[in-house]
Amino acid sequence: MERKLFTSESVTEGHPDKVADQISDSVLDAMLEQDPYSRVACETVVNTGLVILVGEVTTKAYVDLQAIVRDTVNSIGYDDPKYGFDGNSIAVLTSLDEQSPDIAQGVDVNGAGDQGSMFGYATNETPELIPLALGLSHKLAQKLADVRKSHVIDYLGPDGKVQVTVEYDENDHIKRVDTIVISTQHDEGVSQDTIKKDLKEKVIKVVVPEHLIDGSTKIYINPTGKFVIGGPKGDSGLTGRKIIVDTYGGMGRHGGGAFSGKDATKVDRSASYAARYIAKNIVAAKLADKCEVQLSYAIGVAEPVSLRIDTFNTGKISESKLEKAVRKIFNLTPSGIINTLDLRRAIYKKTAAYGHFGRNLPEFTWEKTDKVDELVKTIQSL
């Protein structure tokens, strides 16, 4: 019998790249709170004792960048000098310029802020309509943060990574969880036996459904044997370096553009959300078991230059009919996406850790399945 394995990973909010993402999105949120029409492209670099902000911003807002950075870092858990990265003492350097007028002239007429292709994906293998390996990875990473912040496991540090491998049968149905890998930062002097016992009992058993784990499931916890030095002291971090964690864990394609620190006129972000919205509604409507949507844009041009739908031979109707229905129902211009999904709000810090998709939070409008009935009726009329 053929054995198929698929692996995805997630990281905690204290991972250096995710620290950078959260800072960038916190800056974006602060500007949108005062000026919803702010245009923001904020990149963050973090290293031992240092945060650097660079990018392009056009806004009427006045924000205290130093305070935003320090508050964000402290809220993650880097509030103690022992981590080598402490929100109360880090140096914060900023270099934010105004958006190029050459780009602005295309956005001002409601065109796309850049060229590029964006993908959205959905699968019915989980209730959230995301791949199981990614969903479990995110939930395990989130649980690491929860038990740390609630002091259920009080020796954990903010940094951590999770990886889950799922086994499928020959018909692509989920069989079991094959492997779980967790690497988590911890205080000096805590034994690995204690860490392994606590994480199995208070994280893995709480998160992973019992029927998915069997006697052959492999569990690796801190396989190097020690993880005391972590966060930006252990490795530098950069906005946008975890785009596969942010999206679908490698199942489904990626156009290459990062999300964090960008306002919704950037189609890297808004069109990726729209593509997910479309794909999720198609799967929720039971028109396909899996669906991938590609949108592509030209800078300064409002309508997408292409729309492609792939149901991986699981569709109940033709992909051409799905495309026709999608064009009828969804406004896919940048301004149409922004208005439909209400993307001028200060909602983005929440997206910057544990995935942009598969989380049914009220702010995550692209996760709604409110187009199911309209899709079905439109297709019946074609």
In the annotated binding site for K(+), the residues are 43
**The two structure tokens encoding residue 322:** 């799905």
In the β-sheet with 306-310, what is the strand arrangement from edge to edge?
116-123, 290-297, 306-310
Known binding-site residue numbers for Mg(2+)? 17
C-beta of residue 237 within 8 angstroms of C-beta of residue 18: yes
Query: Distance between CA atoms of 28 and 31, rounded to whole angstroms?
Result: 5
Task: Tally Cβ neighbours within 10 Å of residue 220.
Answer: 13
How many angstroms separate the CA atoms of 267 and 41, rounded?
12
Contacts of residue 171, defined as CB under 8 A and 6 or more positions apart, other chains included, come to: none
Task: Please give the structure tokens belonging to residue 358.
Answer: 């598969």
Identify which of 276, 285, 359 has the alpha carbon closest to the alpha carbon of residue 316: 285
Q: How far is CA 44 from CA 67, 95, 113, 208, 345, in A?
A: 15, 10, 20, 33, 21
Task: Report whether 346 contacts 116 (CB < 8 A).
Answer: no
Contact of 294 with 158, CB cutoff 8 Å: no
Closest CA to 311 of 291, 287, 285: 291
Sort strands 174-186 and 218-221 into parallel, antiparallel or unpaired.
parallel
Annotated binding site: 15, 17, 43, 56, 99, 159-161, 226-227, 235, 241-242, 258, 262, 266
The count of other CB atoms within 10 Å of the CB of residue 95 is 9
Radius of gyration of the chain (CA): 21
| 260/42 Cα distance (integer angstroms) | 8
Q: Structure tokens of 235?
A: 């490795």
For residue 215 the two structure tokens come to 């006697």
Q: Which residues are annotated as a binding site for L-methionine?
A: 56, 99, 235, 266
Q: 3-class DSSP state for residue 380? A: helix
